[in-house]
Amino acid sequence: MTLPTNASASEIRLSADGRDVLVPVETFRTWQAELMELDVLRDYKARMDATLAKLENQVMALEVALEQERRATDNTVGSLQLSVERYKRRAKSPGLGVGFGWSSADEWAAIVGLVWKLDGLVP
């Protein structure tokens, strides 16, 4: 780690025996404040890293859920397409029609008959 360089060279000097570095009190306090700010920033970065990891996990879970929904939708659409194809095949073949209703003679009426789809006659 390098020390902050906001002090001039004349303020920082060695002691007479060469074992200690003499630094003015104001320069030391400035350095101390910068180091404390650095500690606060490191704590903040650690919290942000933890939050980022948590959010990445949530995004991953959402992506998995989205992929499952896409597969379910694809399966549903495929199933509906098969149903439509089956309906179209059945509609081209004859069938038996049964109907019930109220007649003009004020009584119940029933009808049974052979039905066939004629393409183009009915939209």
Residue 74 main-chain phi, psi, to 5 deg:
-60, -40
First to last CA, the chain: 83
For residue 8, the model assigns a pLDDT of 52
Is the pLDDT at 120 greater than 60, yes or no?
no
For residue 3, the model assigns a pLDDT of 52
Contact (CB, 8 A) for 34 and 4: yes
Per-residue model confidence as pLDDT tens digits over 48-106: 999 999 999 999 999 999 999 999 999 898 888 888 787 776 666 677 778 888 878 88
